[in-house]
Structure 1
Amino acid sequence: MYDFAIRFEQDETGVAVFCRDLPELNSFGDDVEHAIREAMDAIDTTLSLYVDQRRAIPSASEPQEGEHVVQLPAVTVAKIALWNAMVERNMRKADLCRLLDVHQAQGDRLVDFLHTSKMEALENALAALGKRLLVSPASYTRYEVFYIHCGELKTLQANYNDNTDAWSLLLAGLKLKLPKDLESPSPEQVCRNSGISHALLRAS
């Protein structure tokens, strides 16, 4: 529900990050790995902006081709659920503190995305508002491959139950044809023969 999809735009200075569901988000990294790390912090900062402006946080839409899905920590998802429940009831932080009988600082931290909170405290706050947070583990590993094809940064997403490598995922996911001039080529050779120069695998 809150696995936001981000997209990358690469130029000679690095990789910029944007999010359709959170248009206020704007981040940058030296490379893809750095951009993903920076995007996590940027999402927390953007969610804090929604709280400051007393706006409901939107749900994530379906990812589009070439986008990277960011899976938020369970604590962050719980904070989103709590904040949206407060907005739905037109509650302020002070109202939450009175409801939970806690000090202002304690109540504020429950919807502060730049401050960590205990899951038990968030569950208690949600219960006080008649909400429950259900967490179910995924039965598969989601892989994402970042690759450069003809100078353009792209991504490929796939779900696999076992470990694999970036080149094999690209070979299967892009349905690349085997070159006739290579005998028993490796997945990497097939990819490079198709104009793919770099490949990076991440399990998300």
Structure 2
Amino acid sequence: MFEYPVVLESQPEGGFVVTFPDVPEGITQGEDEDEALMYAIDALETALSFYVDARRPLPVASAANGRPTVRPSALECAKLGVYQAMTEQGIKKSELARRLGWHMPQVDRLFDLTHASRFDHIEAAARALGRQIEIRVA
């Protein structure tokens, strides 16, 4: 989930530019393919935070079709999953705060992708939406 294909474009002056067909706000570059893909994770996380901040639905990832893919960190994927469940159900942050017995700043921090939220808080939010967090090591 939240694994997005990227387009790596070699540049005449050297290096690679990375763009996301499904997330046009995400763009970055690197000196080589590995560095470009590493920076692509940060660019994706930043771009997806724009959607969360604007309370817009998250973009759906298209098929990779042989392209490399990147995804946010596990913690951010969990936060994005809770955000997606909340938007799919039409639940506002204030309702989630009420269900959890939290103050609004706590809910705001939960959806701040740069904040290192506690995992048990993310799990509690998922449960309040009738969901659960699943983790796997591949």
User: Does the residue aligned with 1:125 lie in a helix, a strand or coil?
Assistant: helix
Q: Please give the alpha-carbon distance, in whole angstroms, between the structure 2 residues aligned to 1:58 and 1:17.
A: 17
For residues 72 and 48 of structure 1, do their structure 2 counterparts lie closer, same or farther at Cα, with a shift above 3 Å needed? closer
- Residue aligning to 2:41: 40
Q: Please give the alpha-carbon distance, in whole angstroms, between the structure 2 residues aligned to 1:88 and 1:55.
A: 11
User: Does the residue aligned with 1:58 lie in a helix, a strand or coil?
Assistant: coil
Report the CA distance between 1:107 and its aligned residue: 0.9
Report the CA distance between 1:13 and its aligned residue: 4.3
- Residue aligning to 1:76: 76
Matches within 5 A, 1:1-150: 1-11=1-11, 12-65=13-66, 67-138=67-138
* Equivalent residue letter for 1:56: P
Larger radius of gyration: 1
Report the CA distance between 1:38 and its aligned residue: 1.6
- Residue aligning to 1:160: none
**TM-score, normalisation: structure 1:** 0.61
User: Does the residue aligned with 1:135 lie in a helix, a strand or coil?
Assistant: coil
Report the CA distance between 1:74 and its aligned residue: 2.0
Q: Which has the higher contact order (CA 8 A, sep 6+)?
A: 2
- How much identity, in percent, do the aligned residues show? 36
**TM-score, normalisation: structure 2:** 0.87
Q: Which runs of 5+ in 2 are unaligned?
A: none
Query: What are the Cα deviations for residues 150-194 of structure 1, in whole angstroms up to 9, with x where unaligned?
Result: xxxxxxxxxxxxxxxxxxxxxxxxxxxxxxxxxxxxxxxxxxxxx
Q: Please give the alpha-carbon distance, in whole angstroms, between the structure 1 residues aligned to 2:115 and 2:126.
A: 18
